[in-house]
Amino acid sequence: MVDGVRTADRASSTAAPRPWRLAMAEALYGANGFYARGQAPGEHFRTSVSAGPAFAEGILALLRRVDLALGRPDPLDLVDVGAGRGELLHAVATVTTTAEPELSGRLRLSAVEVAPRPRGPAADLRQAATVRWATSVPPQVTGLLVANEWLDDIPLDIVEQTAAGPRLVMVTPAGAESLGAAPAPADAAWLARWWPLRPGERGEVGRSRDEAWAGAVGSVRRGVAVAIDYAHRLGGRPAGGTLSGYRAGRAGPAVPNGSCNITAHVALDACAAAGRAAGATVTLLTTQRHALRELGVTGRRPPTELARTDPGCYLKALARAGEAGELTDPGGLGGFDWLVQGIGVPLPLR
């Protein structure tokens, strides 16, 4: 199961309480779900992709390293999983087409997205022949697979530890919660390994994310897979959980009625283990701040002298430094984690 959303999760609408995983799947990807209605992620929350072209420059720098490690294959894949409106691939294509025709000629761009494809003249341009759209990861990828803020949108169950043992948290579309049955043995085992709970605490069962990530890594024949997300690690899991809703740029309660995006931070350390089991030969778990700086995306301001000699260039460099500063801010996007896994190639980042 590469797409992380099981068919059974696409249950029909009901007002009865049900486990969070089903509720979230319906609220995001069901018939009237947030993403199924074609909501553009960038209109509801700011991701690194929507922060401007500096993020794509970092990904392109990473792609060049992967290309080199692979011996410049033809085709060279760049796969964006959870591609939203395809902005990242579009930005990479724009730079390579004009500045790197040799690379551009070998590049095979794939957008993997379950939401409806964007429509309209700008979207047509964005998708001009160069980008292949699919609802699941293509098999036999040779190159770079990127998943920016994908895993946090994979539906998951929530469990509360009671005196009688762990219980599934149930929820109605209006957001009213109650406790249900014990979680499935595989979920209980996941919690015991990755999110041990004390009485009264809640855990978010990341097994669905592990499976989704393992599917993505397993589709890479040779190359690198990168998951970028807000994350937590064993020993630092937030006791109350991280489930929240996003709508029109604001965080709010997670109400699974299709009106908002519902996300929960990702146990990327658990995903790393799943990726290793799926074939990753090397792994790095680091912050976006570190990764982007290593790739040359820094918030360094241009010399003020440039303002006098070339004001246009100075302003451009200043705007780019601002963008890079936002992407590497440790209190914001820079605090995201990067899970970088190589499949048959060395790590492209230190």
Could you list the residues that contact ligand SAM (CB under 6 A)? 3-5, 35, 41-42, 47, 49-50, 81-84, 112-115, 148-150, 153-154
Cβ nearer to ligand SAM, comparing 83 with 295: 83
Could you tell me the two tokens for 4? Answer: 């992380």
Query: Which one, 26 or 153, has the nearer CB to ligand SAM?
Result: 153
Sheet holding 244-247, edge to edge: 250-252, 244-247, 261-263
**Would you say 203 and 197 are in contact if contact means Cβ atoms under 8 Å apart?**
yes
Question: Looking at beta carbons only, is 154 or 292 nearer to ligand SAM?
Answer: 154
Minimal distance in Å, beta carbon 146 to ligand SAM? 8
> CA-CA distance, 327 to 47, in Å (whole number)?
9
**What does the radius of gyration of the chain's CA atoms come to, in whole angstroms?**
21
Which amino acid belongs to residue 265? H
Q: How far apart are CA 223 and CA 225, in angstroms?
A: 7
Q: Write down the least CB distance from residue 25 to ligand SAM, Å.
A: 10
> Cβ contacts of residue 311 below 8 Å, gap of 6+?
none
CB 55, min distance to ligand SAM, A: 8
Structure tokens at 331: 């209190």
Cβ pair 245, 255 in contact under 8 A: yes
In angstroms, give the least distance from the CB of 57 to ligand SAM. Answer: 15
Sequence-distant (6+) residues with CB within 8 A of 144 are 59, 62, 63, 66, 77, 78, 79, 223, 224, 225, 226
Contact yes or no for 238/271 (Cβ under 8 A): no
Taking the complex as a whole, the smallest distance from the CB of residue 58 to ligand SAM amounts, in Å, to 13
CB neighbours (10 Å) of residue 186?
10
Tell me the closest approach of the beta carbon of residue 34 to ligand SAM, in angstroms: 9
Using CA of residue 12, residue 13, residue 14, residue 19, what is the dihedral sign? positive
Closest CA to 190 of 137, 245, 237: 237
Closest distance to ligand SAM from the beta carbon of 99 (Å) = 23
Minimum CB separation of residue 5 from ligand SAM in Å reads 5
Other CB atoms within a 10 A radius of the CB of residue 284 amount to: 18
